[in-house]
Homo-oligomer: A and B are copies of this chain.
């Protein structure tokens, strides 16, 4: 079964949308067919703001659909990529998680994370995808996310959907298959 492997930064932006678009066959490619994905790996640093973004992703998945999907948190013991060894650690981790035919979404996180994930995908014969959220919508979502309390976000992850987490997903996200 193919997986979706995503990088994550300080915004939840795109992971839920990428998954939905791939599953519906709603993405830009020569022959966009629905992809049967039931497993998502989120690879990220352990920076505080990224921790919150992960909790938001978890709450969005718990409260807004795609409920038959398993979503796994892969948190590295670094808070940023600022050295060659950070990059190598990230590359090693992301490479170990990708199998042939998987979908790798590099939309979130630092550029060096995106580059590592895309190179790993290329080498392992996985697909490379990205999701574009219009800038104004992205900013609105970021503003809404900022207004949430951490305890409500954690509750959301446990399917206690006391906040409208679905307003944090983009209605106009476009997913592009690059390879």
Which residue numbers of A lie inside 8 Å of B, CB to CB? 28-29, 82-84, 87, 106-107, 111-112, 114-115, 118-119, 122, 128, 130, 132, 174, 176-178
Contacts and interface: CB of A to CB of B under 8 A. Distances in A.
B122 A84 contact: no
Nearest to A29: B84
A156 to B, nearest CB: 27
Contacts of A107: 111
Contacts of A118: 115, 118-119
A112 B84 contact: no
Contacts of A83: 28, 176
Nearest to A7: B111
Contacts of A132: 82
Contacts of A111: 106-107, 111, 114, 130
A78 B121 CA distance: 26
Contacts of A28: 83-84
A176 B29 CA distance: 34
A176 B112 CA distance: 11
A138 to B, nearest CB: 13
A107 B83 CA distance: 14
A32 to B, nearest CB: 11
Contacts of A29: 84
